[in-house]
Amino acid sequence: MVQPAFDASDFTLIAGSPKIYTHVSKGSGKKIYINFCNNCGTKLFQTFERFEGAVGIYRGTLDDPNWLEVTPDNSKHIFLGIAQSETLIPAHTPVFIEHAMQNDGTPTAPTVFDAPQKIGDL
């Protein structure tokens, strides 16, 4: 599952100055800026060359990671082509082998399963 993504205007860092690691996506060739804690190395959030103005929050770093209800209407699973064996894929949720859109912004058609699936069984 990908982290919650928000408009950068809805995100405020209230303490600290994270370090930034720049990663180039093999799929898009675009940069992903991974912001992490300078003291412990925990990944905090991401920003993207490809999606300027968006911030992806690492859900596990939230005080309450369950405050945002995750439903098939507000989520999707991406990069199933490189998911670990035994990863469970929920039913009725859009899934993608790679990116959900092409570099030019053209949407990629999702797959939606009627029943839960497991990587390795697909």
Alpha carbons 83 and 88: distance in angstroms, whole number: 10
Residue type for position 4: P
Query: CA 95, CA 78: separation in Å to the nearest integer?
Result: 6
> Which of 117, 104, 112, 99 has the alpha carbon at shortest distance from 27?
99
Q: Encoding tokens for residue 55?
A: 């911030």
Evaluate if residue 1 carries a pLDDT over 50.
no
pLDDT tens for each residue of 31-84: 999 999 999 999 999 999 988 899 988 888 888 878 878 777 777 888 888 889
Average per-residue pLDDT in the chain? Answer: 87
pLDDT score, position 2: 46
Q: Other CB atoms closer than 10 Å to residue 89's CB: what's the count?
A: 18
Dump pLDDT digits (tens) for 91-101.
998 899 888 88
Reported pTM:
0.73
Half-sphere exposure of 120 (CA within 13 A, CB side): 6
Look at residue 61 in the predicted model and tell me its pLDDT.
82
C-alpha 75/C-alpha 13 separation (Å) is 24
Check if the beta carbon of residue 13 is closer than 8 Å to that of residue 46.
no
The pLDDT of residue 100: 86
Calculate mean pLDDT across residues 12-23: 93
Backbone phi, psi, residue 107, to 5°: -65, 145
CA atoms of 34 and 68, how far apart (whole Å): 22
